[in-house]
């Protein structure tokens, strides 16, 4: 299996461990990742309000680069926000002739042209559908039994494009978690919003989202995420959320590939576990 | 609207005779149905009187109650009679007549009804004995009136029928003109009061002096009478109910019945021209009688006596006015009226119905109500 | 309360033209309130989403701009998913942010600067350099207290070596040409991809 | 009048199909009624209660005239009519030909259980090891793979669900009557012979085709062996190897074609012998495969042969016209993007499941318990518009029935669960748009304590720590509400039947984007192909009453097609066999008892029973026959024919069979059918059970006392009188006249057309004037229609079959018309108003005035910038407390028209609940999209209108906007008031025909759901807006429905009286008239002399109310004389 790889800005900085773990787990699963050469920011959630065309063009630029590498390839995207932006651009290129023309007019300025021939895939989509528990289970060398894992999907890998999971009640992570021997923490918050950039821009509103998710995770040993924004909101802001809630909401938060990697016997160094902001001592003792 | 007149200076019997004659004369009545002494025998029967002179023999105050006059009046009013009619009736006769009117057997509009307070009546047997103890029928009536309306005993040998003792409607509420006697001194004349517009029109044309308001004595006498009757009625109901609450008990109660059907003939609200019991319906196949005999080892002949009474209950208990004529008619002294009053009381109660009182109240089971459907079939 | 005056006469309309493209997105709204009940941030909003859409449909731009409802949209797409009319509500929210930024609404300055600074970083480096972005943002905010709000987080990230401290020229892919071309295209009279278009 | 006979096909045996079938059967056609399901009744088989009665009542659809042509029984159990053949498990595979002569192919699923043998004992089900959710109980209970589709069906034959059945065979041996043949089911019935010398090939083909694909496979290792097998048993397909030692494949093929000429043969060849294979095809092989091959290349070829065989088994017949009534399905929330917790959160059920929970045949015997923990439900919420009005689920339509459905469910639930039951309905618009719906809604919500909440729920989650359900919605005021319920009911919408598209494609008719069948303009039932009509919900979601109306409309249109084509496709009716006159003979009864079990107890019971019967001198003979329900048994019954008996009593377990066959049996005996009596010997009770014996003895007694008098019925005047020359009256007149029946059409005004004269166009832009001209043209040139304008009916009397009407025409002498039926189509008009400043300003107009201005080109759109419309003016509150249904679509129509003329014109619509039911919802969506502004108002907070002096905006409307929770003021150039429709049915006219008006003055129908276009009094019909407010297409549908129902009378020479009718024995009658008063069908009346009570035998339904009130049996019902009743009682008592 071979995928083009679009890490996105976060994975080069605040979510470096996500990048490390993704690459490590994919390698262990025999999947080749080819990073798109010269990729740039997808525009995140900031471009669209400024300009739709800009937002689409920024993402399309990356699709164009991908097409140059493998015209009928598939891009694996670990970041949900990047995934959504690339997907929107892909959708515009595929389904809206007028938009395709406009985008390519803009891309002409950087001497690129995009057709939308590559497919955009979220990391979770690839893990759950292409690999699946059936493929991953044989790679598990270390059972994580005894751990209760709360699967946190966030929003943008589920919505608005219901590509690989039920956007109201996602389940795609469950077989993967179960494959590691861990149990799934049953909760309703898996697809609820983490607050996204509100946590930075309007913390009084955003932190409430964080609080409610962390509260719902009570009883779980850890939360796993598939998006750097979600991860940051759930781990980095834990102290602040705890203060806001007036109770200790600390919990270990890992990226999904980190959890899988642990079960596959990869080292914490390979998985970038040292970079995580919220790994409780108890968890550390148990696992490391 | 009530207009009342006073009839004075005479004894009641003379007073009422002169009053009826005045009504006939002044109101242009062609004929009047009134209890009257027979020319051929010292007996009282309803008579259709067209000659006002014959009213000298009229005697609506006598305790004689040979038949319920409602049935007779229905015959007179069923179709246009070609003349103006009046009728003098007991309260239970009026009630029975009203039931017949509802069943399209008579017309109320075509007749002026004079009703008279009723203290009760005697069975035919008792009346004959009572009458025979007096010189004349008039004397018997005078003797009766002397005590009856104040609640005293009528005669030592003669007692009111059970139906009368249990009657709770002794005043002629449905009449056009009501003659009030309860609580009144026989020597002080009597009061006739209009109860309808028609009655009012009649009285207005008589040139008789107006009466006073209702006397307090009347109220007292009525209250006492009703109390006494209620008590009797309660006891009577209890004892009949106790005796008939099983099929066996009921069969015993009616055991003396010989299917003479007299009770049915006497009943004022049994209105069928041909009763189903006199049709061929109950002339069973001989095979059938044999089957019955085979099944039980023996069957009482005539058959269907119990069924006859049950059928009559089913047909007329909602219309039963409790006049007592069934008991009066029974040659074998079955206290039928007690039983029918009891059953009538319950069936009428079930339908929120009172027989004979309100002409505008339709008899039960007369119409098809969609809403009842669910109740009846239970869905 | 003074009634909102609405009438067919455009003079009494309140800059409704500016919102017309958004109106086209949400006109079919039947005010059922699914968006409000679904929105994770509805409780923090001054206008419920339903109320805000109602105002958008009624063309009441200033009331909408005065609200922080659309700024508080965290792009979770739950309302978009659930809207029985299938309206692109999240997209309409983004478009409202765009209008507010373009109008330089003072009450939304902080958000605007956050977004604008972000894009400037992208324009200059091609990728987001978190430190550079934050520095620019705090400068733009001209609020000396602002950096402290993020200080603990920044320090934590730096401690983990998770913030690019500048340098690393090799990853710099300036996108000014693309930004300018887009701007030029949007200036042309026929702008099929204008805000919310 | 043309007397033509023909036949029709009705596809779909739900309520609409049943209605259409009965209508066609009553008009004399032979009807084939098919349904894909193994049971009748469609979705209504699952519903026990319908509003407004909150009961069933489907049986009211049964024919009231000529009742004896069918069996009067609960329609949810079955439909038995001598003109209707019901084929279940059958689909319409193909249609060829032209209107009037269609060749149809019907695909009947082979039934592994022989319905003639199955006695419904259920032993097969007990033996079946498979358990699946029972769709009948909406999955709330399990059932076996062999099961009863509907517990109350007659005949209640078990059936096998091929999808669930594992073919384990456990059921076959336990069946006491050997009714089950699993091998007859589907692919298993397809027999394949594999002939190959290599055992590996034989084995793998056996595995692929037998084990995997489910065919029956046998193998032969050589040519001779194959030929031996072919000679012994038939096969459908042979897979034949070419290269075999001894006899080669081609030789085998040649020989096989002699033994089995129609055998399909598929050659298997190596690459080297392809040429031989090609030659083999020349001598009759169907195809060849080159070895080695994969299952993927083999299986389609086998499947094709199988399909081809299936097609040859299609039942083919010729019909004159086709009515499609295949209905809709319920929306399944679990498949959508928003499952609403369904299938996820416990105690979230669909409205259909809730219906089953309330049912006595449901999971808990009608006690309202939660599905999983069986806790009584005391607090439930209904969530409306699940899968309706939801573009996310592809439903830009309103399912129409769910609002009333929820109100009914809540009301019934409250009755079932007690007064402490709390019901909450969360809705978007409460669409109480039908006749009496508004009052039912108001009454239900006030007296039944049902809480209504305007809102749309989204979040549905389990309440932590309990089995309850927490839901969240935004209240009208904007507050976010969260509440916990024992149970949440999803009011699921209707969906086009998924099979409709394929059906439509096959028939060459169109469907819309939602999968509903498209119809011709101004019709709800004419598909785009002549001769094919659609009833019920096939053309768009609707409720029961409208489904029934559409079904009747489709039926009458089908009938017109057959007439136009000349009719005459029906099997010839048997000539009436002359009957022996046995009236003067004493009864000599042949008693026949059926034996369907072979065991000593049964034999003993039969002996006892026959001895009992023989005791009666009227019984001439007792015969015991085996299994009369089988063809063999029936033949043996016919062999007992003898002239020595003059009455026949049949005691057997399934009397419905004899009900249908009685006439045949009677003919065999040369006796009147009334002398045949079939009595049910209930095998569930046992033959010796007192109830069984009692039933037989009662039957004996009925037979002994049967009356042979037969009423000759009433002569029919074959003319219809239609009162009212609007679209409804004209449509009805045309539908009747097209059948060759004369019609007198009376119109009060000086021209035909009614309201259509001022209507401009429909909401989809179809102009109305050409349509009206066309209709008037048809009327005027129709030789069978006599039009009387400037005329009115001033008096009438008579009965169904023969009415006399006095008609006054301006300036002409009064005439009297004699007719067999009357259709009242006097219509209605826009209600007057003086609200909202109407009459004080030219700027305030009604919707009619606006339409007229548009129609006459008097509306100057250039001069105006804003138009406001107020809906429900004087409607949905006393005294006009009903929804006029057309006003909301009308407002949308005008608004969209205005917008199309002048896009920047502002249009404001002030409404209470938008009543855009069915497919008109899409116009609502479109209007919103176009920027038309909608403001909801409550009746306790109505808009206030001020007429200003401002010329630029002469009208100012103030109201409270509930969403903004703020006052809003609208300045408009024009204010349009929707005042609704009021009927025009003079009381004297209604009374003249014995019809009644409802409290709002509309024509009172016999039953709002089941008999929606007829009065309780037979022969009197209503249609158009005199029935209730409706659109043009809906009015036309009612007109055609009324015409169809009237034709059931008008096409007969005499109205046949039923066997069981009341009579009067005048010598006994006392004329108390209680019987007249009590008769619910107005069948009794006093003759002109006033001295005799008479009965109209065609109208009498034999209910016996008269006999009950009559004290002396002057009123009796034929067949229920005292004698026979006593005998029946005696029979019962004698046990």
How do residues A57-96 score in pLDDT, each as one tens digit?
A: 999 999 999 999 999 999 999 999 999 999 999 999 999 9
What are the boundaries of each domain within chain D?
A: 7-108+317-327+497-564, 123-181, 190-312, 329-493, 589-704, 716-827+984-1055, 831-980, 1062-1117
Residues of B with CB under 8 A from a CB of D: 103-105, 271-276, 279, 281, 287-288, 291, 295, 315-316, 363, 365-368, 374, 379
What DSSP character marks residue D209?
A: I
For residues C117 and C79, state if they share a domain. Answer: no
For residue C16, the model assigns a pLDDT of 58
Q: What is the pLDDT of residue D311?
A: 79
The yes-or-no verdict on residue B47 having pLDDT over 70 is yes
Query: pLDDT (tens digit, 9 = 90+) per residue, D105-118?
Result: 999 888 889 887 78
Query: Which sign does the torsion angle of CA D444, D445, D450, D453 carry?
Result: positive
Q: Based on the domain organization, do C25 and C77 belong to the same domain?
A: yes
D929 touches chain A (CB under 8 A): no
Residue B151's pLDDT band, with cuts at 50, 70 and 90, is: low
Which residues in chain C come in under a pLDDT of 50? 1-2, 8-13, 166-167, 191-197
| Nearest-CB residue to A160 (from C77, C152, C194) | C77
Q: Are residues C19 and C88 in the same domain?
A: yes
D interface mutation test: which of C14, C34, C69 has the most D CBs within 10 A?
Answer: C34
Residue pair A234/A2 in contact by the 8 Å Cβ criterion = no
The answer to whether position C196 is within a domain reads no
Average pLDDT over residues D329-353: 89
Residue B135 above 80 pLDDT? yes
Mean pLDDT across D1001-1027? 94
pLDDT digits (tens, 9 = 90+) for D374-433: 999 999 999 999 999 998 888 999 999 999 999 999 999 998 898 899 999 999 999 999
Neighbours of chain C (3+ CB pairs under 8 A): A, D
Tokens encoding D604: 């003993």
User: Domain D7-108+317-327+497-564 classified CATH 3.40.50.2020?
Assistant: no
Q: Where are the domains of chain B?
A: 4-224, 257-377
Architecture per CATH, domain D831-980, reads as 3-Layer(bba) Sandwich (3.50)
Residue with tokens 């930004």: C179
What is the phi/psi pair of residue A236, to 5°? Answer: -65, -30
Cβ of A169 and D461 within 8 Å? no
Boundary of a domain, candidates C83, C103, C123: C103
Predicted pLDDT of residue C143: 67
Q: What number of C-beta contacts closer than 8 Å exist between C and D?
A: 130
User: What pLDDT digit, counting tens, does each position of A196-216 carry?
Assistant: 888 888 888 899 999 999 999
Residues of chain A in contact with residue D338, where contact means CB-CB under 8 angstroms, are 168
Q: What is the pLDDT of residue D708?
A: 73
Which positions in chain B touch D1134 (Cβ < 8 Å)? 291, 295
The rounded percent of chain B whose pLDDT value lies above 70 is: 93
Per-residue pLDDT reduced to its tens digit, B265-280:
999 999 998 898 988 8
Could you please state the CATH topology (level 3) that the domain comprising D589-704 is classified under.
Rossmann fold (3.40.50)
Chain mean pLDDT for chain D = 89
Report the share of chain D in percent with pLDDT over 70: 97
Q: Which among D1040, D1034, D1010, D82 is positioned nearest to D561, based on CA atoms?
A: D1040
pLDDT of residue C196: 38
Domains D329-493 and D716-827+984-1055 share a fold: yes
Q: Express each pLDDT in D844-874 by its tens digit.
A: 999 999 999 999 999 988 889 999 999 999 9
The answer to whether D496 touches D392, Cβ cutoff 8 Å, is no
Q: What is the pLDDT of residues D36-71, one digit of tens each?
A: 998 889 999 899 888 887 888 888 888 877 777 777
Yes or no, beta carbons of D461 and A188 under 8 Å apart? yes
Outline where D120-248 has alpha helix (H).
Answer: 123-127, 171-174, 199-205, 223-232
Mutate which of C31, C45, C46, C63 to test chain D, going by most D C-beta atoms within 10 A? C31
Nearest CA in chain B to D1125: B281
**B and A interact (at least 3 Cβ pairs within 8 A):** no
pLDDT value of position D363:
92
Residue of C122, C131, C156, C161 to mutate for A, most A C-beta atoms under 10 A: C122
First CA to last CA distance, chain D: 56
C35 touches chain A (CB under 8 A): no
Which CATH number is D329-493's, of 3.40.630.30, 3.40.50.720, 3.90.79.10, 3.50.50.60?
3.50.50.60
Per-residue pLDDT band at D642 (split at 50, 70, 90): confident
Which of C103, C138, C162 corresponds to the end of one domain? C103
Residues of D in contact with C8 (CB under 8 A): 864-867, 905-906, 953, 971-973
Which of D936, D805, D634, D352 minimizes the C-alpha distance to C54? D936
Is B150 a residue whose pLDDT tops 80? no
pLDDT bracket for residue D794 (50, 70, 90)? very high
Contacts of D367 (CB under 8 A, 6+ apart): D376, D416
What is the count of structural domains for chain C?
A: 2
Indicate whether C56 and C131 sit together in one domain.
no
Question: What would you measure as the largest C-alpha separation in chain C, in angstroms?
Answer: 62
The average confidence (pLDDT) of chain B is 89
Q: Which residues neighbour A251 within 8 Å (Cβ) at sequence distance 6 or greater?
A: A214, A217, A220, A221, A222, A223, A238, A278, A280
Q: Is residue C195 part of a domain?
A: no
Domain boundary among C103, C121, C141: C103
Rg (CA), chain A: 19
Contact (CB, 8 A) for A264 and A139: yes
Residue C194: what pLDDT? 41
Cβ neighbors of B84 (< 8 A, separation 6 or more) are B27, B28, B29, B30, B31, B110, B112
The three-class DSSP label of residue C157 is: helix
Length of chain B, in residues: 379
Its domain, for residue C39, covers 14-103
Whether residue C23 is found in the same domain as residue C78: yes
- Identify the CA nearest to C173 among candidates C122, C126, C129, C133: C126
Residues in C touching A45 (Cβ below 8 Å): 75, 94
C-chain CB neighbours of A198 within 8 Å are: 41, 72, 74
DSSP states of D401-423: SHHHHHHHHHHHHHHHH-TT-EE
- Please tell me the distance from the alpha carbon of residue D663 to that of residue D648, in angstroms, as a whole number: 12
- Within a domain: residue C6? no
Residues C28 and C58 in one domain: yes
- Own/partner pairs for D168-176, CB < 8 Å, 24+ apart? D168/D129, D168/D130, D170/D127, D170/D128, D170/D129, D171/D124, D171/D125, D171/D127, D171/D128, D171/D146, D174/D123, D174/D124, D174/D126, D174/D127, D175/D118, D175/D123, D175/D124, D176/D119, D176/D121, D176/D123, D176/D597
Over residues D1024-1038, the mean pLDDT reads: 96
Please report whether residue C28 resides in a domain. yes
Compute the count of residue pairs across chains A and C with CB atoms less than 8 Å apart. 181
In the numeric block, which tokens belong to residue D942?
């109505």
Distance CA D883, CA D1029 (A): 8
* CATH of region D1062-1117, choose from 3.40.50.300, 2.60.40.10, 3.30.230.10, 3.30.70.20: 3.30.70.20
Residues C28 and C93 both lie in one domain: yes
**Torsion angle, CA of D650/D656/D658/D664, rounded to 10 degrees?**
160
Report yes or no: D1109 at the B interface, CB cutoff 8 Å.
yes
What is the Cα–Cα distance from C185 to C173, expressed in whole angstroms? 22
Give the integer Cα–Cα distance in Å for A79 and A81.
6
Q: D536: pLDDT confidence band, cut at 50, 70 and 90?
A: very high
**Under CATH, which number does the domain D716-827+984-1055 receive?**
3.50.50.60
Report the alpha-carbon angle A127-A129-A131, nearest 5: 50
CATH fold of D190-312: Rossmann fold (3.40.50)
The mean per-residue pLDDT over the stretch A149-155 comes to: 96
Long-range contact pairs involving D858-865 (C-beta distance under 8 Å, separation at least 24)? D861/D898, D861/D901, D861/D902, D861/D905, D862/D902, D863/D973, D864/C8, D864/D905, D864/D973, D864/D974, D865/C7, D865/C8, D865/C9, D865/D904, D865/D905, D865/D906, D865/D973
Question: What is the token pair recorded at B311?
Answer: 């059928």
Inform me whether the pLDDT recorded for B176 exceeds 80.
Answer: yes
Query: In this complex, do C54 and D961 lie within 8 Å of one another by their Cβ atoms?
Result: yes
DSSP 3-state of C57: helix
Q: What is the pLDDT of residue C8?
A: 43
Does pLDDT of B379 surpass 60? no
The DSSP code sequence of B195-261 is -SHHHHHHHHTT--PBP-SPPHHHHHHHHHHHHHHHHHHHHHHHHHHHHHSSHHHHHHHTTT--S--
Which residue in C has a C-alpha nearest to residue D952's C-alpha? C9
Mean pLDDT score, A13-24? 94
């Amino acid at each position: 299996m071979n995928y083009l790889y679009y890490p996105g800005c976060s994975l080069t900085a605040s979510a470096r461990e996500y990048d490390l773990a993704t690459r490590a787990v994919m390698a262990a699963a025999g999947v080749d990742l080819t990073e798109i050469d010269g990729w740039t920011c997808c525009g995140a959630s900031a471009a669209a309000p400024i300009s739709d065309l800009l937002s689409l063009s920024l993402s399309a630029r990356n699709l164009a680069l991908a097409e140059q590498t493998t015209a009928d390839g598939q891009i694996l995207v670990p970041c949900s926000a990047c995934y959504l932006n690339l997907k929107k651009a892909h959708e515009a290129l595929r389904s809206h002739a007028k938009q395709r023309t406009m985008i390519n007019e803009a891309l002409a300025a950087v001497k690129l042209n995009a057709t939308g021939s590559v497919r955009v895939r979220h990391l979770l989509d690839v893990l759950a559908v292409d690999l699946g528990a059936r493929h991953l289970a044989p790679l598990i060398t270390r059972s994580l039994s005894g751990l209760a894992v709360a699967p946190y999907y966030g929003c943008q890998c589920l919505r608005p494009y219901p590509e690989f999971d039920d956007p109201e009640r996602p389940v795609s992570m469950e077989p993967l978690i179960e494959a590691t021997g861990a149990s799934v923490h049953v909760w309703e918050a898996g697809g609820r919003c983490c607050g996204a950039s509100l946590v930075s821009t309007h913390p009084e509103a955003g932190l409430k989202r964080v609080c409610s998710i962390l509260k719902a995770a009570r009883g779980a040993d850890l939360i796993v995420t598939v998006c750097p924004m979600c991860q940051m909101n759930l781990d980095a802001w834990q102290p602040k959320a705890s203060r806001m809630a007036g109770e200790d909401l600390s919990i270990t938060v890992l990226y999904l590939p980190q959890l899988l990697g642990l079960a596959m016997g990869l080292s914490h160094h390979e998985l970038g576990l040292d970079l995580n902001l919220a790994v409780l001592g108890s968890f550390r003792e148990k696992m490391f | 609207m009530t207009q009342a007149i006073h009839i004075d200076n005479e004894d009641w019997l003379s007073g009422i005779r002169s009053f009826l004659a005045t009504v006939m004369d002044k109101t242009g009545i062609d004929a009047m149905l009134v209890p009257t002494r027979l020319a051929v025998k010292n007996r009282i029967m309803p008579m259709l009187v067209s000659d006002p002179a014959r009213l000298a023999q009229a005697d609506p105050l006598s305790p004689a109650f040979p038949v319920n006059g409602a049935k007779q009046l229905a015959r007179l009013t069923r179709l246009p009679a070609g003349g103006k009619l009046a009728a003098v009736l007991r309260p239970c006769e009026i009630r029975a007549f009203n039931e017949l009117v509802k069943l399209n057997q008579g017309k109320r509009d075509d007749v002026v009804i004079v009703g008279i307070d009723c203290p009760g009546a005697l069975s035919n047997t008792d009346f004959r004995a009572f009458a025979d103890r007096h010189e004349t029928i008039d004397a018997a009536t005078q003797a009766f009136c002397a005590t009856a309306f104040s609640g005293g005993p009528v005669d030592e040998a003669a007692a009111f029928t059970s139906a009368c003792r249990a009657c709770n409607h002794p005043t002629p509420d449905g009449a056009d003109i009501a003659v009030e006697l309860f609580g009144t001194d026989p020597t002080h004349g009597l009061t006739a009061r209009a109860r309808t517009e028609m009655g009012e029109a009649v009285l207005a044309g008589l040139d008789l002096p107006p009466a006073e308001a209702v006397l307090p004595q009347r109220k007292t006498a009525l209250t006492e009478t009703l109390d006494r009757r209620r008590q009797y009625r309660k006891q009577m109901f209890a004892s009949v109910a106790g005796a008939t609450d099983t099929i066996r008990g009921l069969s015993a109660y009616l055991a003396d019945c010989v299917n003479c059907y007299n009770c049915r003939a006497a009943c004022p609200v049994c209105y069928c021209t041909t009763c189903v019991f006199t049709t061929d319906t109950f002339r069973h196949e001989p095979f059938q009688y044999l089957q019955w005999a085979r099944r039980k080892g023996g069957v009482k002949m005539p058959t269907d006596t119990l069924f006859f009474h049950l059928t009559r209950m089913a047909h007329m208990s909602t219309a039963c006015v409790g006049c007592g004529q069934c008991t009066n008619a029974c040659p074998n002294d079955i206290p039928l009226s007690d039983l029918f009053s009891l059953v009538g009381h319950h069936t009428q109660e079930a339908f929120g119905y009172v027989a004979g009182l309100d002409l505008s109240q339709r008899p039960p089971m007369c119409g098809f109500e969609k809403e009842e459907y669910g109740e009846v079939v239970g869905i | 309360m003074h009634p909102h005056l609405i009438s067919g006469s455009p003079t009494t309309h309140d800059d409704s033209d500016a919102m017309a493209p958004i109106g086209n997105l949400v006109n079919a709204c039947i005010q059922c309130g699914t968006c409000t009940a679904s929105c994770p941030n509805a409780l923090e909003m001054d206008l419920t989403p339903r109320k805000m859409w109602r105002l958008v449909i009624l063309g009441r731009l200033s009331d909408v701009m005065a609200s922080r409802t659309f700024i508080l949209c965290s792009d979770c797409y739950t309302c978009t998913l659930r809207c029985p009319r299938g309206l692109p509500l999240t997209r309409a929210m983004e478009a409202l942010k765009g209008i507010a930024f373009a109008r330089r609404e003072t009450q939304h300055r902080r958000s605007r600067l956050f977004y604008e600074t972000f894009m400037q970083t992208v324009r200059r480096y091609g990728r987001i350099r978190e430190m550079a972005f934050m520095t620019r943002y705090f400068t733009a905010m001209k609020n000396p207290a602002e950096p402290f709000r993020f200080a603990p987080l920044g320090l934590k990230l730096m401690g983990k070596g998770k913030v690019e401290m500048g340098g690393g020229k090799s990853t710099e892919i300036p996108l000014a040409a693309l930004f300018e071309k887009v701007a030029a295209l949007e200036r042309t009279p026929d702008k099929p991809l204008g805000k919310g278009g | 009048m043309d007397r033509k006979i023909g036949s029709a096909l009705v596809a779909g045996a739900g309520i609409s199909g049943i209605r259409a079938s009965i209508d066609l059967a009553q008009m004399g056609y032979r009807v084939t009624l098919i349904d894909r399901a193994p049971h009748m009744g469609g979705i209504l088989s699952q519903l026990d209660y319908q509003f407004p009665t909150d009961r069933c009542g489907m049986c009211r659809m049964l024919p009231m005239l000529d009742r004896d042509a069918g069996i009067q029984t609960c329609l949810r159990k079955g439909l038995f009519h001598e003109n209707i053949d019901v084929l279940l498990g059958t689909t319409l595979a193909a249609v060829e030909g032209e209107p009037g002569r269609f060749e149809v192919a019907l695909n009947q699923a082979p039934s592994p259980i022989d319905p003639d043998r199955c006695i419904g004992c259920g032993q097969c089900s007990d033996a079946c090891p498979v358990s699946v959710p029972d769709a009948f109980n909406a999955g709330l209970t399990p059932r076996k793979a062999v099961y009863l589709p509907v517990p109350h069906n007659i005949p209640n034959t078990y059936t096998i669900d091929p999808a669930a059945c594992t073919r384990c065979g456990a059921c076959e041996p336990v069946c006491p009557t050997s009714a089950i043949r699993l091998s007859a089911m589907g692919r298993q019935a397809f027999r394949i012979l594999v002939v190959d010398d290599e055992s590996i090939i034989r084995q793998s083909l056996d595995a692929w085709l037998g084990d995997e694909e489910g065919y029956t496979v046998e193998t032969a290792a050589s040519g001779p062996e194959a030929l031996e097998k072919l000679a012994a048993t038939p096969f459908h397909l042979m897979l034949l190897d070419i290269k075999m030692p001894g006899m080669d494949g081609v030789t085998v093929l040649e020989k096989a074609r002699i033994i089995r000429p129609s055998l399909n043969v598929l050659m298997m060849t190596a690459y080297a012998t392809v040429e031989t294979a090609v030659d083999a095809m020349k001598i009759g092989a169907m195809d060849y495969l080159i070895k080695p091959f994969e299952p993927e290349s083999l299986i389609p070829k086998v499947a094709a042969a199988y399909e081809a065989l299936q097609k040859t088994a299609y039942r083919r017949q010729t019909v004159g016209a086709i009515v499609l009534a295949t209905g809709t399905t319920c929306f399944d929330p679990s498949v959508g993007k928003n499952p609403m917790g369904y299938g996820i959160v416990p105690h979230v059920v669909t409205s259909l499941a809730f219906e089953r929970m309330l049912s006595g045949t449901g999971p808990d015997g009608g006690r309202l318990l939660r599905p999983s923990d069986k806790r009584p439900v005391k607090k439930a919420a209904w969530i409306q518009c699940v899968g309706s009005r939801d573009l996310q689920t592809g439903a830009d339509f309103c399912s129409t029935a769910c609002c009333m459905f929820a109100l009914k469910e809540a009301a019934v639930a409250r009755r079932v669960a007690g007064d402490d039951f709390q019901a909450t309905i969360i809705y978007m618009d409460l669409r109480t748009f039908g006749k009496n719906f508004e009052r039912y809604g108001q009454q239900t919500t006030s007296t039944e304590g049902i809480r209504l909440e305007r809102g749309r729920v989204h979040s549905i989650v389990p309440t932590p720590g309990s089995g309850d359900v927490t839901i969240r919605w935004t209240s009208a005021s904007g507050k976010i509400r969260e509440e916990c319920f024992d149970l949440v009911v999803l009011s699921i919408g209707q969906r086009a039947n998924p099979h409709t598209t394929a059906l439509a494609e096959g028939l060459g008719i169109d469907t819309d984007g939602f999968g509903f069948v498209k119809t011709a303009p101004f019709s709800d039932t004419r598909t785009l192909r002549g001769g094919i009509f659609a009833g019920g919900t096939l053309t768009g979601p609707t409720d029961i009453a409208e489904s029934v109306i559409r079904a009747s409309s489709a039926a009458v249109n089908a009938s017109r097609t057959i007439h136009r084509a000349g009719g005459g496709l029906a099997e010839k009716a048997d000539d009436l066999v002359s009957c022996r006159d046995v009236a003067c003979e004493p009864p000599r009864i042949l008693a026949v008892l059926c034996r369907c079990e072979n065991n000593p107890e049964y034999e003993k019971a039969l002996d006892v029973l026959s001895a009992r019967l023989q005791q009666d001198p009227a019984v001439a003979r007792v015969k015991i026959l085996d299994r009369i329900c089988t063809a063999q048994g029936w033949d043996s019954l016919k062999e007992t024919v003898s002239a020595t008996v003059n009455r026949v009593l049949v005691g057997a377990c399934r009397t419905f069979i004899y009900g249908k066959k009685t006439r045949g049996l009677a003919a065999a005996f040369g006796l009147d059918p009334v002398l045949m009596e079939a009595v049910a010997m209930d095998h569930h009770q046992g033959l010796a059970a007192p109830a069984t014996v009692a039933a037989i003895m009662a039957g004996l007694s009925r037979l002994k006392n049967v009356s042979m008098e037969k009423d000759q019925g009433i002569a029919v005047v074959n003319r219809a009188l239609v009162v009212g020359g609007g679209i409804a009256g004209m449509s009805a007149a045309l539908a009747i006249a097209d059948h060759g029946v004369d019609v007198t059409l009376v119109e009060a005004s000086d021209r035909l057309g009614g309201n259509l004269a001022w209507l401009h166009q429909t909401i989809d832009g179809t102009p109305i004037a050409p349509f009206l001209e066309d209709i008037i043209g048809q009327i005027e040139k129709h030789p069978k229609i006599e039009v009387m304008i400037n005329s009115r009916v001033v008096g009438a009397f008579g009965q169904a079959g023969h009415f006399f009407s006095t008609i006054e025409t301006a300036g002409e002498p009064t005439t009297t018309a004699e007719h067999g039926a009357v259709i009242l189509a006097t219509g209605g008009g826009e209600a007057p108003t003086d609200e909202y400043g109407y009459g004080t300003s030219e700027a305030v107009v009604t919707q009619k005035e606006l339409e007229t201005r548009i129609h006459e080109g008097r509306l100057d759109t250039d001069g105006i910038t804003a138009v406001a419309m107020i809906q429900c003016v004087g409607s949905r509150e006393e005294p006009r407390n009903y929804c006029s249904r057309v006003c909301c679509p009308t407002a949308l129509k005008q608004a969209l028209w205005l917008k199309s003329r002048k896009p920047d014109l502002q249009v404001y619509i002030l409404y209470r609940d938008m009543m855009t039911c069915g497919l008109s919802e899409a116009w609502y969506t479109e209007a919103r999209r176009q920027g038309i502004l909608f403001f909801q108002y409550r009746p306790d907070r109505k808009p206030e209108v001020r007429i200003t002096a401002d010329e630029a905006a002469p009208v100012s409307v103030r109201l409270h906007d509930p969403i903004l929770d703020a006052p809003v003021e609208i300045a408009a150039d024009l204010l349009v008031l929707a005042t609704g429709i009021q009927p025009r049915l003079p009381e004297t006219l209604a009374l003249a025909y014995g019809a009644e008006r409802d409290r709002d003055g509309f024509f009172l129908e016999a039953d709002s759901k089941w008999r929606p276009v007829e009065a309780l009094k037979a022969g009197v019909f209503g249609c158009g807006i005199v029935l209730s407010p409706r659109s043009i297409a809906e009015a036309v549908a009612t007109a055609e429905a009324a015409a169809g129902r009237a034709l059931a009378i008008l096409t007969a020479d005499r109205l046949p009286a039923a066997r069981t009718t009341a009579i009067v024995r005048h010598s006994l009658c006392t004329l108390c008239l209680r019987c007249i008063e009590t008769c619910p069908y107005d069948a009794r009346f006093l003759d002109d002399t006033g001295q005799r009570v008479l009965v109209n035998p065609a109208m009498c339904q034999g209910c016996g109310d008269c006999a009950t009130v009559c004290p002396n049996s002057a009123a009796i019902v034929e067949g229920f004389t005292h004698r026979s009743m006593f005998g029946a009682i005696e029979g019962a008592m004698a046990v």
